[in-house]
Structure 1
Amino acid sequence: MLSILLLSALSLSLGAYSLPQPTPTAPPIVRVAPALHARATTTVWSSVGCYSDAGSHALTATSLNYAGTDVEYCENWCQTRGFSLAGVRNGNQCACDNAIRNGNGVAAASACSLPCAGDSSETCGGGHYLNVYSARAIASTTTTTTATTTAAPSGSWSSAGCYSDAGSHALTATSLNYGGTDVEYCENWCQMRGFSIAGVRNGNQCACDNAIRNGNGPAAASACSLTCAGDSSEICGGGHYVNVYSFKTGTATTPTSTTMTTTSAPTTTAAPTGASTWSSVGCYTDGASHALTATSVNYGATDVEYCESWCQTRGYSVAGVKNGDQCFCDNAIRNNNAPAPTSSCTLACAGNNNEICGGGHFLNIYQYVATGATSTTTTTSASPSSTGWANLGCRVDSDSRALTGPMQQVSTNTVESCEQFCSSQGYIYAGVEYGSQCFCGNTLANGAGGTTASSDCNMACAGNSAETCGGSYRLNLYSHIGATASATSTTMTSTSSAATSTSSGSSTT
């Protein structure tokens, strides 16, 4: 129904895709705060079709590049940020919004033909085209405990067998890709979100639902033959097949894993290495636009150490606990959230009542600091020189990009947040462009990056109007002083964190 309304309400036309937009008119951004508490509904995603994605993009609220992108990852990533539309393009890019914007319209299905970087059996748009998916809420039929419940329901998991998992998946409510996936991790992950069916596929994917959908049925056991990424002694489905497990209540046993920290660290992200420690940053506000936005989890046994470990294994250097049982991760404190009185963070942690895990709208924040590294995760607007970055001036950019590493387009973009994003990814150059865009790299590429008049960089930063963030095809370029980089390493010598899970390091067109 939503797809019909979208198609009938919008007069849309095809166009060419490029970043940044050639005219300095920032697209409207609509954000809805993610719902992180127990839900009475289940979200189901459905395809809206292939859309053009012109110079002014179809989905503009937020986006990321990630080498493990597939349809389910993008849907989940957008949903946890409160958006109802998810779009995949260029094989490894995910974009979110609540409306299709800027006159982009329906395109031929053949225009979306690139396989997804994280699942070659799925299609993730094209160079100038986007596969769009829409979320809708339906009444949930789950009878198990929802994600915010601190006590797991009494019952046990049992195998339902190997099932087909065609283009329209068998389990569609929610899913994730995780390099430490095994059967028990997936069962626990689904149960904590209130689902009674868990499925593992492709070795590293976990999907949840309360029913097997889209006509998928039992398959030969031999069709499920891939070992689990987190435990090679277990089987985690196949390319188009899923090992399905069902939770039944009423027995005295409980799910096999009481703490997810016993699973192996994701192989797709490099955890910080070397002598290090986590230290408290303090109690912070956490408004409708959250302070830490990269990823989050609700878990009934959350405590400070669990959250720190969960964030660290995913490559993030900032962890925050909230509401007793919520854990948030990022590499910067965002959206103008600021220090709050200690008395605002008073809720005991669900997993350890001797510790404090934030409050209703407040976070206890902790930062990972390697020995010899200085803390840079603040909400203050320090000048580039005071944070160890040198201003290299205004530079020319092109469609091929001067900086070809990871990028992000966010409404909170500032010089400091871009520097920190690039540093956390292991890159020595950071460039801000078109107000809301941040690019990273270790070299200036594609013949771009030449100096130009400083007046060419004349757009205010989206997150701080007192700063300049480039212009149309113009970069304000910064270099991390004293840092080194390797073509095969994404770890900075000045810090030990590398959030390679958030980007692919490939060029964005």
Structure 2
Amino acid sequence: MASKRRNMFYENKKQETTEIGAKRIAPPTYMGCFEDSSDRLLDGAREDSDALTPNSCIDFCYSRRFQLAGVEYGKECFCGDELKGKVRQKDTDCDKQCSGDPTRVCGGNWRLGVYNTGLRLGEGDVQRLIYVGCYVDNPDRILDGSKVVSDLLTPVSCVTFCYRREFTFAGMEYRNECYCGDVMKYSNRTENEQCDMECAGDPTRNCGGPWLLSVYNTGFKHYNMTEKDISTNVINTRRRRYREK
């Protein structure tokens, strides 16, 4: 009976790691039923679907590099990296049939069935990132999509931020700034050694410089780069330049 109950929560399915800078360290696992609120326990990406199953939600969150996936009210999928204000409930409280498979359960009314997607993000994977090069930025911004400023910025965190927002490129500038976009002006490329400011979140890595952008391909969309556009080396020079930005 217990085995049958577990199968209602998770349907075994072979998964493969294809994301850059990410590893699936174990099969997805069911973590339990939790009480949700309007603030959301998982406040990352979200998807509502009339074909929701635990697997489709896990795949959705995994593809966006989230470590946790939660199903709720039969058709809602939430993603995140941590449970905020978690209050665990009985597994039987998550009793709503999944919209995509009535033999499965997908949470309940303000009840979130939570899974670990099996994803792990780590700085040890940064060598797998596709480094495009160092580019001269300008006030109009080479990458004019999303932006975040973080005192914990690293190449992995910036690429992950842009990947989750479905951008092709991620760029780090002035040690703590992260920019995303789909289009770049390649005529602005300069020597890789110019992007030599230490990352705010990891002094062993480099995150651009003053008006200089260290650019990576996120791997979200296929992009044909010529050989001259690609450098697979992660720059680690410590030489610093101080210039008013």
Q: TM-score, normalised by structure 2?
A: 0.50
User: Does 1:320 find its partner at 2:60?
Assistant: no
Quote the residue 1:434 is aligned against: 174
User: Does 1:381 find its partner at 2:124?
Assistant: yes
Residues 347-398 of structure 1 deviation map (CA, whole Å, 9 limit, x = unaligned): xx4322799xxxxxxxxx95447xxxxx4x42443124x2xx3111111111
- AA aligned to 2:124 is S
Contact 2:163 2:219 in 1 (8 A): no
3-state SS in 2 of match to 1:308: strand
Contact 1:308 1:319 in 2 (8 A): no
More helix by share: 2
Contact 2:131 2:216 in 1 (8 A): yes
Quote the residue 1:475 is aligned against: 213
3-state SS in 1 of match to 2:133: strand
CA spacing shift, 1:313–1:395, aligned 2, 3 Å: farther
User: Does 1:271 find its partner at 2:35?
Assistant: no
CA spacing shift, 1:409–1:309, aligned 2, 3 Å: farther
Contact 1:319 1:367 in 2 (8 A): no
Quote the residue 1:83 is aligned against: none
1:455 CA displacement: 2.4
- AA aligned to 2:56 is S
- Quote the Cα distance in structure 2 between the aligned partners of 1:414 and 1:405: 18
| Counterparts of residues 256-295 of structure 1 (less than 5 Å) | 271=47, 276=56, 278=58
Contact 1:397 1:449 in 2 (8 A): no
Contact 2:163 2:220 in 1 (8 A): no
- AA aligned to 1:320 is E
Aligned Cα root-mean-square deviation (Å): 4.3
1:464 aligned residue (187, 202, 226): 202
Rg bigger for which structure?
1
User: Does 1:453 find its partner at 2:191?
Assistant: yes
| Counterparts of residues 300-311 of structure 1 (less than 5 Å) | 308-309=70-71
CA spacing shift, 1:474–1:401, aligned 2, 3 Å: same
CA spacing shift, 1:469–1:442, aligned 2, 3 Å: same
Equivalenced residue count is 155
- AA aligned to 1:271 is E
1:436 CA displacement: 0.7
| Counterparts of residues 4-153 of structure 1 (less than 5 Å) | none
- AA aligned to 1:381 is G
CA spacing shift, 1:448–1:392, aligned 2, 3 Å: closer
Quote the residue 1:421 is aligned against: 161
1:407 CA displacement: 0.9
Contact 2:162 2:218 in 1 (8 A): no
**Structure 2: runs of 5+ lacking an equivalent:** 1-33, 60-67, 94-113, 224-245
Contact 1:397 1:448 in 2 (8 A): no
CA spacing shift, 1:277–1:469, aligned 2, 3 Å: same
- Quote the Cα distance in structure 2 between the aligned partners of 1:395 and 1:463: 21
3-state SS in 1 of match to 2:82: strand
- Quote the Cα distance in structure 1 between the aligned partners of 2:48 and 2:162: 15
Residues 161-219 of structure 1 deviation map (CA, whole Å, 9 limit, x = unaligned): xxxxxxxxxxxxxxxxxxxxxxxxxxx85xxx9xxxxxxxxxxxxxxxxxxxxxxxxxx
Q: TM-score, normalised by structure 1?
A: 0.26
Residues 62-111 of structure 1 deviation map (CA, whole Å, 9 limit, x = unaligned): xxxxxxxxxxxxxxxxxxxxxxxxxxxxxxxxxxxxxxxxxxxxxxxxxx
1:270 CA displacement: 5.4
Contact 1:396 1:449 in 2 (8 A): no
1:313 CA displacement: 5.7
- AA aligned to 1:352 is K
Structure with greater contact order relative to length (CA < 8 Å, sep ≥ 6)? 2
